[in-house]
Structure 1
Amino acid sequence: MGATSEALTLRAGALDVELAPAIGGSVSAMRWRGVDLMRRLSDDDRDADNVLGVAMFPMVPYANRIAGNEFDFGARRWRVLPNNPPETFNVHGSGWKQPWTVTGSGAAAATLVLEVAAGAEPYSYRAEQAFVVSEEGLGVTMTLTNTGPVPMPFGFGLHPWFDRDRGVTLQFSARRFHLEEPEGVSGDPITLPPELDFAKGGPLPDGWRNNDYGGWTGEAIIRFPSRGAGLRIAADPVFKHLMLYADPTKPYFCLEPQTNASGAFGRGRWSDPDEGVIVLARGESAAGAVSFMPFALPPGAA
């Protein structure tokens, strides 16, 4: 089919996934057996093109915030622009703020592409999201290519939003916990204390969380007892970090697989594998896949 940015619905078995390419290349709903397993984009937010109301958006050409909106790389200082007022810092890169183009689609698969040329910001890149829906779940393969003239540091990730139901639990394993600095910037990591560890599963925290879990194993499980369903997230090893955002005053939370550590661009430790920054020369690409697999919970399960 020809290129388009119209909304799409992908179906396989009991799973329906709706895409909103024009709203930041986003997923607008993920429904299994008639149950929403991501926060659904409301009609009002759809009409307003509000990407902050979607079910999931892509983070490219890096994930999370760049402290001070600048970083040093290749003997140069590069600047990015604030993009999410009233925040003062650039957050999640430029991909989620632009319409994506559908370059191919079928009943259970679609490919979205975004091409960006450097202007006020330093990055030129081509990003692709390949969505495949099966009876097992939703798979998203992200591919990021440096189309600029010089090597640059990159990262990418996915930013799903989930409804904060009563009784929701999380389970995932990681090795480190990044402290939060002012204005939402992630700081240096510490050894993961048991009070912040979800390896054995636990409820959403009662207090504020906006933290990067480093050394993530690539698997996370969310259980929604009131919906009788859960969601298993499985990511390729390139996704070394999992960001948890949970504000107890909000009706949603986020669990975000990403390649680079939050705040890594400000620290400038480009060769540190724990930071997860991917340096791409001109024409080079990096890719990784994340799967979202629903499962049923037995009655009364927590």
Structure 2
Amino acid sequence: MPRALPAPTRPARPARPARPHRVVVLALDGVYPFELGIPQRVFGSADGRYEVVTCTADGRPVRTSSDFSITAEYGPEALERADTVVVPPYLSAADSAELPDPVAAALARIPAGARLVSICTAAFALAAAGLLDGRRATTHWRLAGRFRELFPRVTLDPDVLFVDDGRVLTSAGAASGVDVCLHLVREDHGSEVANRVARRCVVPPWRDGGQAQYIEHPVPEPTEAGTAATRAWALAHLAEPLTLRDLADHARMSLRTFARRFQDEVGVSPGRWLIRQRVLHARELLEASDLSVEQVAARAGFGTTASLRQHLHAAIGVTPQAYRRTFRAD
């Protein structure tokens, strides 16, 4: 299954602004501490490209889901100057289709052009405010049924790690907040910056599959072989015309067993995973190298520029030349 629904095509990003992009994190009562810290950790590792501040809905301290409270430096007025607003999950998020008055008032302060990001069950807050009506979204898989019941006007996909619907992004459970924040760094500043941030945070720059791979299902027997070694081998041989038979032979499995085990572990078929890895490698080469488009196509394993153009356009809606111009403009 796809990791995320594709975002609408964005215009070429402008040159780096004079001031950092301002990310405001809205901490609501009962906030989960882990997710609360994700935006600062990820955006704060991008060499000053972002300014991250935390606020509460009424300027007062809030309880966390743990045994302590926090005091934020800012109140809801900080939202009025936000370029991006991130809402982490909180204990009562899924309790009702209506928001407490202070929370609704705080969300109403967000500028019309700001990006909105929810982590985990905070999608309930955005939906309750009407900000997800008619949009695609995701949330924690365990609460998918509850979300659909409360918000039938939202198209929910509980199988992905995050959904980029343009100005509004929603992510799945807990650590998927890291995925969506890294995705925004990549969209804003390219793969090279995002990869550097990921290394500093000691997290993978791109996770395969969706949260479907984390939904409760029987655990394989510990004696069964996995596909991780074959995935690593494939990444080192992307320029070669790899087939499903090549992958299965490397893993020493039958085609049927390999395909089933790969899908269980990664959340997508081997073919879709391989195309995604080729696209990612091609994007990195287009951003950071002076290789011709023909050379990029060959090194990424697409063989021809037509194949590269087709797959890149299907993934992000632009041609290789347009994608390269976007990043070289920075």
Greater fraction of residues in strand: 1
**So what's the TM-score if we normalise by structure 2?**
0.19
**So what's the TM-score if we normalise by structure 1?**
0.20
Decide which structure has the larger Cα Rg and report it: 2
Greater fraction of residues in helix: 2
